[in-house]
Amino acid sequence: MTATETQARGTRRGMRLDFHVLGPVLALVALIVIGILLNPNFLSYGNITNVLARSAFIGIIAVGMTFVITSGGLDLSVGSMAAFIAGLMILVMNALLPTLGVSVATILAGMATALVAGLVAGAINGLLVTRGRIEAFIVTLGTMGIYRSLVTWLADGGTLSLDFDLRTLYGPVYYGGLLGVAWPIIVFAIVAILGELAMRHTAFGRHCAATGSNEQVARYSAVHVDKVRTATYIMLGVLVGVATIMYVPRLGSASSSTGLLWELEAIAAVIIGGTVLKGGYGRVWGTVVGVLILSLIGNILNLTDVVSPYLNGAIQGVIIILAVVMQRGRAASR
């Protein structure tokens, strides 16, 4: 343990290239180069905006997921939770329409609903894991099924749609932006920066790592392990709410197929970014790189005809495994 740490520090001091850290960045650069070579429109303003904006949902969630995984937890329910919160938001906003009308107040009420629902859902997951002493995998597998069924039930098996005029008013939250940068990208960036600061420079970040690394030791070191764990789930829940706030104005609808497999994409992004699945070490900026890698693969495959679309999933799978193998390989040989 001490030996590795000293070595790692030595490497950093010596300014030698640390492939353990650079692996995902190299993969991202390689993908960008491939994209440029395959299609001249790849670097166009429109395409870059599209890719970054669509990464924002998974990205915002994945930042929260980084904390949960770092502290030794896991959350499989985020995709279903996003679908449920989106459905709830739409129902609340449509219900407020007669009283508040097509106004900013209605939309703010919808946003508040999303944040509160996310907080409550996250707290339920967190308390069941810490107070209920149930494995995170099982708790969130259960809530995953519950939220997915609830949204199907709310939508009566169909699709919940936001009132057309409200959607027009709300639309700029996804489609609009500041100085040419779309709002989802700005929100994603802010969440990522705050996440990085929290992970690196606050006691909370260090407590997450300590809890995930060795719960007993953390407990003896006066870390409130249960509080830290619960807090990570609540934070993730709120971030799912934030992601949903950005998601709903895009198509103005929610159905049982909303947010399908988001949890796995978020977890994959976290792991590609260098966070350890078993907990104990997390890297928020790595997660951001992981999210970008995943959305660039889809984008590049759509922009070219090189590979049969049937193989999209296979290519994503190979890249996920390669990215992790590269890190682990270099890390072991260090």
Partner 1 sequence: MNFRSHAAIAALALAALPASAQETAVIGVSIPAATHGWAGGMNFHAQEAIDRLEATYEQLDFVLATASDPGKQVNDIEDMVATRNIDALVVLPFESEPLTGPVQGVADQGTWVTVVDRGLSQEGIEDLYVAGDNPGFGRVAGEFFAERMPDGGNIVVLRGIPTTIDNERVEGFQQAIEGSGIEILGMEHGNWNRDDAFTVMQDFLSRYPEIDAVWASDDDMAIGALAAIEQAGRADEMWVLGGAGMKEMIQRVQEGDEMVPANVTYPPAMIATAIELTALNFVSNAPVSGDFIIGSVLVTPENAAQYYFPDSPF
Which stretch in 5-13, 34-42, 184-192, 323-331 sits in contact with partner 1 by CB under 8 A?
34-42
Residues binding partner 1: number (CB under 8 A)? 32
Residue closer to partner 1, measured from CB, 166 or 210: 166
* Contact residue for partner 1 among 11, 94, 161, 316 (CB under 8 A): 161
34 lines the binding site for partner 1 (CB under 8 A): no
Rounded to whole angstroms, what are the CA distances from 72 to 10, 211, 212, 232? 28, 7, 4, 10
* 142: three-class secondary structure by DSSP: helix
Contact predicate 238/117, CB 8 Å: no
The token pair at 184 is: 């989802």
Is residue 94 a contact point for partner 1 (CB under 8 A)?
A: no
Asked if 41 is part of the footprint of partner 1 (rule: CB under 8 A), the reply reads yes
Q: Are 72 and 280 in contact (CB under 8 A)?
A: yes
Among 2, 305, 332, 333, binds partner 1 (CB under 8 A): 305
Strands (E), the chain: 159-161, 177-178, 181-182, 253-255
Cβ-count burial of 106 within 10 angstroms (0-12 exposed, 13-18 middle, 19+ buried)? buried
Q: Which is nearer to partner 1, 159 or 214 (CB)?
A: 159
State yes or no: residue 80 binds partner 1 (CB under 8 A).
no
- 314 burial level (CB within 10 Å; 0-12, 13-18, 19+): exposed
Q: Which is nearer to partner 1, 71 or 255 (CB)?
A: 255
Burial of 315 (0-12, 13-18, 19+ CB in 10 A): middle
Q: Residue 256 Cβ, how far from partner 1 at the closest point, in Å?
A: 5
Position 32 contacts partner 1 (CB under 8 A): no
202 touches partner 1 by CB under 8 A: no
Q: The tokens 């629902």 sit on which residue?
A: 117
| 180 touches partner 1 (CB under 8 A) | no
Distance CA 148, CA 286 (A): 29
Least distance in angstroms from the C-beta of 118 to partner 1: 19
Q: How far is the CB of 186 from partner 1 (least distance, A)?
A: 17
Per-residue CA distances from 104 to 85, 163, 315 (Å): 19, 14, 43
Coil vs helix vs strand at 102: coil
Cβ 151 to partner 1, closest distance in Å?
Answer: 11
Query: To the nearest whole angstrom, how small is the minimum distance from the Cβ of residue 281 to partner 1?
Result: 32
Which one of residues 9, 221, 257, 314 is an interface residue with partner 1 (CB under 8 A)? 257
Considering only CA atoms, which of 174, 167, 178, 171 is closest in space to residue 246?
Answer: 174
Residue choice 102, 116, 175, 315 for contact with partner 1 (CB under 8 A): 175
Interaction between residue 244 and partner 1 (CB under 8 A): no
Residues 6+ apart with CB under 8 A from 286: 21, 24, 272, 273, 274, 275
Q: Which of 8, 32, 34, 54 binds partner 1 (CB under 8 A)?
A: 54
Which listed residue (80, 143, 211, 255) binds partner 1 by CB under 8 A? 255
Residues that bind partner 1 (CB under 8 A): 39, 41-42, 44, 46-47, 50, 54, 152, 155-159, 161, 175, 250-251, 253, 255-258, 260, 298-299, 302-303, 305, 309-310, 312
